[in-house]
Amino acid sequence: YMVFEYMDHDLSGVLAYRSQRTADGSTGLSSGNLRPDEVKCIFLQVLRGLDYCHKHNVVHRDLKLSNLLLDKLGHIKIADFGLARIYKEGRLNQTNRVITRWYRPPELLLGTTIYDSKVDTWSAGCILAELIRGKALFPGESETEVYRMIADTLGAPCEQMWPACTQLPNYAQLNEAYQHMRKMMGASASTSSSVRQTGIGLGGSSASTGRLPASMIAADEGRFYEQRQTFRHVFSNTTESGRDLLARLLQCDPSRRLDTAGALNHGYFSEHPLACSAHSLRLSSSRSCHEFTTTNVGQATGGQKRLGAITGECWNIF
C-alpha cells in the first residue's frame, strides 16, 4: 500500500463549492470567482510544481483542476501521475489519447504522437483561464467540439500561424467538421474564405477584429478570423498582462508556446495585486471540497472517469 497525507480540497471542488454558496446567498463573496491575488497564488504554485517536473524530464499528461489538491493551509500538490512519462531525448513518441479532453492541446487533437512538455503548459493555460473565469474554457463534449471552441476563441489552425499543422493526421477531418459547423451556425462562406486566419485575436474592442500585441503579430498583418468570441472579450475580467500570459500559454503551435520557466518570469506576477500568501486563500475550514462531492461539476474526461485526485501520487511543490 501507498499512503499519502489527506488533502482537504481539490481546485475543482473549491470552485464548484464557491459557486454553489454564491448561488444560494450563503457566502459573503460577490461571485464564485477567485480574486486576482488568489489566482496568482494558486497558479504560481502550480507552475513551480510543473517546472520541477519538467526540469526532471517528467511530463504529467493529465493536468486539470481535480488533480490539483489543496490542504487547509492553501498549499497545492499535483496529483495523479498515472499517465506521466519520463522523456530523456526532449520529445515523446507516445499515444495522443491522453489529457482530459477539456485540457487537451491542439497537437494531440490533430493526432500527433510526437510531443514534449508543452502539452502540459497548454493544460496549465486552460487551468489559468478557468481560475480567472470561474468556468472551463473549452468544455466540449467531443474532440470535434473542443476543436471548434479552440478555433472560435484563438483562431483556426493554419499554415500561417502553425507551419505543418495541415500535415497532422486529423487536420483534414477536424477542419472540415469545423467549417461545416460554422456554416450550420450561419457563418458566411464567402466572408470566411476571404478572411485570413492569423491566430489569437487579442486586443481591439470589436467583436470580430483586433490587434495583436507585438509579440504575437504574424509576418504580414491582415484581418483576423471572424470569431464569435474574441480573446479580449472572453477574458475581459483580467489585465492586459494576464491576457498576454494566457495568449502565450495557449499558442496552438507548441514550438511558440511558453514553457514553465518563461511563465514563472512573466510580468503578470509582478503587477499589483501581487499573489497572496497560501494561508490567505479563502478555503472552507468546515468541510472538504472535492470534485466528486460537488453536484454541479461534470467534467468530460474523454473516457473512463478517474478518481486519481484521491488515489494518485502527489508531489509536494513546496
- Among candidate residues 8, 62, 120, 244, the one labeled active-site is 62
62 among known catalytic residues? yes
Q: Which residues fall within 8 angstroms of residue 97, CB to CB, at 6 or more apart?
A: 302, 303
Residue 62 has, within 13 A of its CA and on its CB side, a CA count of 24
Amino acid (1-letter code) at residue 239 = T
DSSP structure string for the chain: --------EEHHHHHHHHHHHHHTT-SS-SSSSPPHHHHHHHHHHHHHHHHHHHHTTEE-S---GGGEEE-TT--EEE---TT-EE-SSSSEE--S--S-GGG--HHHHTT--EE-THHHHHHHHHHHHHHHHSS-S---SSHHHHHHHHHHHH----TTTSTTGGGSTTHHHHHHHHHHHHHHTT--HHHHHHS---S---S-SSSS-----GGG--SS--PPP--SS-HHHHTTTS-HHHHHHHHHHT-SSGGGS--HHHHHT-GGGTSSSPPPPGGGS---SSS-B-GGG-TT-----SSS---HHHHS--EE--
How far apart CA 79 and CA 102 sit, in angstroms, is 18
Catalytic residues: 62
